[in-house]
Amino acid sequence: MAASFQKDSFVGWTRFRHGDFQCTVVTDGPLKMGPPANAFPKADPKEITELLTGAFLPADTMTLNQNLLIVNTGEGLVLFDTGCGVNQSFGKSSFGPDIGRAIWNMRAAGINPEDIDLVAITHAHPDHCWGLVDDDGNRLYPNAKIVISATDYDYWTDLSRILEAPHMKDFFGGAHYNLLAYRDRLIFVEDGKQVVPGITAHAATGHTPGHYIYAIESRDETLIIIGDVSHHEVLLRARTSAQGCRRLHLGRHSDGLRVKTVS
């Protein structure tokens, strides 16, 4: 019998080793960022256009891959951020129909969302915490605890702030919708404190009031989850100065890893 042609050839995950840990990256889908100047405000627009068109990419709008990391420490599964989510009223309406694939790709990579023990949130912006619940408000990670800073939780779930910043109505509404579903499962991070063995939280306030980054250390290897970097595969390879985003100074001190935002 003639079989119909398959349409989906999208491979949405990859895997690597980090010391004793196994890391899996799954994509939530392409994040449409609009004009490149939004993400690279300090770069020369002419140069950006040349670089993008030289790589046969559109120059008027930029797409970044929205990727999530899952670390298997041997003792548990830790997911960092959740993507834009599947909510029709939030993620899908704000970021288009191609995002919200994290759960699908996770399962394709052999990881069940039900098996995630911890979801470590860097900050409560849409593309980081809107993937916690489904369209009906049900937890997509029913057995996980949520790690987040108290500052970001308090700030972004406070709906009264919509009056001060009506243009960010969905930011507050989406964070409230997703995070309050886990209100009995929250762990508030503290600067320099261990989240689980091998994973430490570090305050990196600036992008949001309570932005945290995470250091994942195993066998003298350190991986830093920053949570928001404009990581375009063409622009940043060609010119790291194009980034126009915060730089981080990393240094190792006797009491552990120090991370300091410098701009």
Binding site for Zn ion (CB under 5 A): 125, 228
Query: Is 98 within 8 Å of 30 (Cβ atoms)?
Result: yes
Q: Compare residues 125 and 202 and give the one whose CB is closer to Zn ion.
A: 125
Q: Compare residues 192 and 209 and give the one whose CB is closer to Zn ion.
A: 209
Residues paired with 253 in a beta bridge: 256
Cβ of residue 21: shortest distance to Zn ion, in angstroms?
A: 25
Cβ of residue 220: shortest distance to Zn ion, in angstroms?
A: 30
Q: Please list the helix, strand and coil fractions of the chain in percent, rounded to the nearest 5, in that order.
A: 25, 30, 45
Q: Which of 179, 221, 226, 189 is nearest to 80 (CA)?
A: 226
Cβ of residue 50: shortest distance to Zn ion, in angstroms?
A: 28
H-helix or E-strand containing 128? Answer: helix 126-129
Q: Does residue 146 come out as left (phi exceeding 0), alpha (psi in the -120 to 50 range) or beta?
A: beta
Q: Compare residues 100 and 227 and give the one whose CB is closer to Zn ion.
A: 227
Cβ of residue 179: shortest distance to Zn ion, in angstroms?
A: 15
Distance of alpha carbon 48 from alpha carbon 57, whole angstroms: 11
Q: Compare residues 111 and 213 and give the one whose CB is closer to Zn ion.
A: 213
